[in-house]
Amino acid sequence: YLNELKANKDDMKLSDYLNHMIHEKNLDLAGVVRRSNLSKDYAYPILNGGKTNPSKMKVVAICIGCQMNYAETQRALEIAEKGVLYPRDPGDAIIIYNINKGNWDVLKINEQLEEAGQELIK
C-alpha cells in the first residue's frame, strides 16, 4: 500500500496539485490568477495542465496566488521538479518570509526582491 501511495504521489501533475489546493482552500480561479500577477494567457495553461514546464518563479507566483503556506509551496516546487525554496538564498529567503507572514501580494514581494537585487517573481 505504501509503495502504491508513493507511486501515486510521484505521478501527480502540478496542475492536479494546484487545483486540489484551490478547491481545498475554497478559492476562485480568477482570484488565484489575479493574485499571482501572471497574465491570464500564461497562468490558465499552467492550471489546466496545458503548460507542463513553467519556471520556478511562475510556480511560486501561482502558489502565492493560491495562498499556499511554505510546506505546500515546497511540495508544488517538488512536483514541478524546479527545486525548493532555499532559506540561505537571499531571494528565496525573502519569498519564504512573506509566505510565512501570509503576504499574498506578489507586487510587494517583488519590491522587496528588487531592493535586495534579487530575481523577481514574474
- Please give the pLDDT value at position 69: 98
CB 109 within 8 A of CB 64: yes
Quote the pLDDT of residue 8: 55
| pLDDT over 90 (residue 42) | yes
Q: In the structure, what pLDDT confidence band is assigned to residue 19 with cuts at 50, 70 and 90? A: very high
CA 111 to CA 36: how far, in whole Å? 15
Q: Please give the Cα distance from 32 to 63 (Å, whole number).
A: 9
- Of 93, 94, 97, 106, the C-alpha closest to 66 is 106
Looking at the chain, how many residues does it have?
122
